[in-house]
Chain A
């Protein structure tokens, strides 16, 4: 009798405690999980910086006449300002300016606009945005930055290893997966490759005609490779850097074609910047890689060195520039 009473009491205690424990451990995760808003597939990855609505993270604070301004486009503008300010000051010194300042935004248009208007002296960005700046106001590319260690990469078009496709021409009438319209390596360059191969790239919702290849913007590199692996599309395009990493992780894809080298990050100057300053900045950029006094600034900006612009780089920029003609993709794009 005593045992039953004690057991009943302890069981009550146990049930209350255990239910509480289980709920305490799992329920918060469930609530958090339920409350999250998930993007629809194909939409651009959500970026939620605090200053998303503001074009500039910080307005210039020093006199324009004595300041060299470097424009950057990033989903993390505040972090970019922090990381690139030492480099901006180095370059300001080379340009004979007293101050070096960084202006960063999420959206490329404000930076390109200010570069074209001369409010910003320099811009560092991808080939895609660089091509836009060149096309918009004849901004001048003066160097290539080895961002992440590499000066250049290639765009790779790949297929399933079981696919019978062997050339780009075999993609006639097929579907290829791109990331989004802002992507250089996974949209601009491979699309240019396909165009160069005589295939007309059209959005996936277009009716196919001979000589056409449909493309679908899937918003993420993983969706590109996953789509090819799982047979959602015949081909996909990624940068050589990404595809090498995926292959190293055992991705079941086979490269079909790759582009010429594409400059990873370009340094452009405003057309209003004087030739002497351009020269001095360019020379300083190219010398930074061997300058120990600049090592800390480069390391902070995660740039190994700066290289000269090659003719191939110019061709790629021209190709991309041509690709910047207005298009209708039908599946998003920012």
Chain B
């Protein structure tokens, strides 16, 4: 069964309140019992003394009557009468001994025949006074002289059992027990009523306190439910600086953090969608399977986790000889970079369509002009593009312009690679490119033009040393020596760079061989 904190707190407060009450009740009861016991003992002693005093009074009176009755039989030596008188007294349960002694100390009657049949001394001495009282174990002994004129005829002795004291104490104890029992019962009843009332009051107070103490917790619980239902705007009031106030403050901070995290997640999701679109753009722009009578192509792109701005393109007009090859890299990543890349690719493609003979420098100036206007001026962005445009002029000759990674040419005749020194401006930084020289490359049959992006050569090993073009040419040369196809060459290069270090940027390569 689930119990609320308020209920538990109520029980705890109730217990805390009742424990001292129970202790007080127990201690009070113990003190009361001790007091009553002490009073009872004192009462018993007093009662015992009272009984003895009462017995003494009664014993004196009885002894007086005894002496009065026995006087004549004693004088007349009437043993039978003395026996009967003594026996009558002996028949009284509380009288243990009723004896008559003559003046010479001879026992003459004790309620039996014995004193008449034998001469015996009385166990008691003649009382020094008319009446003598003493206590023996279990008995009060009263001796009284029998006197006639100035003569002492003898004395009577009565021993009264103090059992009556014990009996009286028993009766008294019973009465006291009954009285005390009734008192205790009354006390118990009163205590029960008071205790019940106290429990009720304590329970009400405890419930009130528990409700008051748990109200912020309940508010927190309700707020938590709302958070669970997705309402991250909920806040709980902070009314104190205690632990509960701190908890409320933490809760509010938590919901704020959650809200921010949710926004971050949304941003991330949006970014991921953008990246997905960018990746889609990036891959969709790559030429599917370009062909040319003079040339053979193999392009490969391995995107990094984040979409970069690498691209390459091959434009050919139908089955003609005209052919433009473009390779580039847009700064930054994401959808914006993809759009810029699309912008560049589209414009180059449109210009190639308009005039395949256009010089690559002219084409890049136009692209730059448009790119600057759109990105820098309209989008207020600072993206730029490194791009190199190769225009095929036939017979293995390419005119090229732009700034990008220096191209490498593997010469079939030598089996070695040449890195072409090809400086050039980046696009989108300046509104107008300065005059750009157009360079030429001529591929002999079998030669391979290797175009690539910085994601290959700038791959670093664990010590931070870049892969560099040198290692790439070595891999290319080895593959070429082994008679590898363009794909095999790409495999060798990508394998080498893969082994060299972890990828953190797009790796793009386009190999072109003159057939």
Contacts and interface: CB of A to CB of B under 8 A. Distances in A.
A73 interface: no
A22 B164 contact: yes
Nearest to B88: A33
A333 interface: no
Interface residues of A, number: 47
A32 B179 CA distance: 35
Interface in B358-405: none
Interface residues of B, number: 59
Interface in B412-446: none
A164 interface: no
A6 B80 contact: no
B342 interface: no
B506 to A, nearest CB: 100
Contacts of B80: 45, 219-223, 226
Interface string A193-221: 00000000000000000000000001111
A75 B419 CA distance: 173
B55 A22 contact: yes
A11 B176 CA distance: 10
A39 B81 contact: yes
Contacts of A41: 72-73, 75-78, 81
A229 B102 CA distance: 14
Interface in A127-177: none
A293 B164 CA distance: 55
Name, among B36, B78, B93, B164, the residue most crowded by chain A CB atoms within 10 Å (CB to CB).
Answer: B78
B89 interface: yes
Chain A interface, DSSP helix/strand/loop, else mixed: helix
A265 B40 CA distance: 67
A226 B79 contact: yes
B77 A226 contact: yes
B47 A15 contact: yes
A218 B58 CA distance: 34
Contacts of B165: 18
Given A26-B62, A41-B72, A218-B77, 5 more contacts: A15-B47, A21-B168, A219-B78, A226-B108, A226-B117
B217 interface: no
A13 B119 contact: no
Chain B interface, DSSP helix/strand/loop, else mixed: helix
Interface in B83-111: 83, 85, 88-89, 92-95, 102, 106, 108
Contact of A10 (B39, B66, B93, B171): B39
11 contacts: A21-B167, A22-B168, A26-B94, A29-B92, A38-B81, A41-B76, A220-B81, A223-B116, A230-B77, A250-B118, A251-B117
B119 A222 contact: no
B168 A38 contact: no
Interface string A1-42: 011001100110111011101110111011011101011111
Contact of A18 (B39, B65, B108, B172): B172
Contacts of B58: 22-23, 26-27, 30
B39 A249 contact: no
Contact of A40 (B72, B89, B179): B72
A129 B39 CA distance: 73
B283 interface: no
B59 A26 contact: yes
Interface in B148-170: 160, 164-165, 167-168
Contacts of A55: none
A3 B35 CA distance: 6
